[in-house]
Amino acid sequence: MPIHAMIVPFPIVCFTLALLTDIAFWQTSNLMWQNFSAWLLFAGLVFGGIAALAGIIDAAFRLSIGGDAPAWPHAIGSLLVLVLAFVNSLVHAGDGWTAVVPMGLALSAATVFLMLVTAWLGRAVAVRSHAGVAYHD
């Protein structure tokens, strides 16, 4: 199993939980949820950067052993997720209600949606290349 595949669940969970904590803040106005969102975005960006680096290394190794499944759509989607999350983190750095509603909440939702699309693209690459896919008969 590629190292990238072991690390990538961490930013996925962090960005998804950031959306949920943004929704909680929107419903309760409790600043605790805004703080949780900001920390989850930060953790997701850190682990996302590590996963991106591992993905680059895995892709370079796969190319050197003759991998044939193009992973560019997944790679570009993953990069866009990190850029969107970074912008979201900057929005969340503000104070109070306007740091989350409406722009932070919309960016969190867009990040999660783009992650779903990127995960689908990554799954398609994995199936085509048989990388990390267990087959049960």
Residues 6+ apart with CB under 8 A from 21: 33, 34, 36, 37, 40
For residue 50, the model assigns a pLDDT of: 96
Question: Mean pLDDT over residues 14-29, rounded?
Answer: 97
Closest of 107, 39, 117 to residue 76, by C-alpha: 117
For residue 135, the model assigns a pLDDT of: 47
Report domain extents, the chain: 3-128
> How many residues would you count in the chain?
137
For residue 43, the model assigns a pLDDT of: 98
For residue 134, the model assigns a pLDDT of: 52
Q: Which of the pair, 62 or 46, is modelled with greater confidence?
A: 46
pLDDT in tens, 47-76: 999 999 998 888 887 765 545 556 788 889
φ/ψ of 54, rounded to 5, equals: -65, -35
Q: Which of the pair, 23 or 119, is modelled with greater confidence?
A: 23
Q: Is residue 81 pLDDT above 50, yes or no?
A: yes
Q: Is residue 128 pLDDT above 70, yes or no?
A: no
Helix residue spans in the chain (DSSP H): 3-7, 9-28, 31-64, 72-92, 103-129
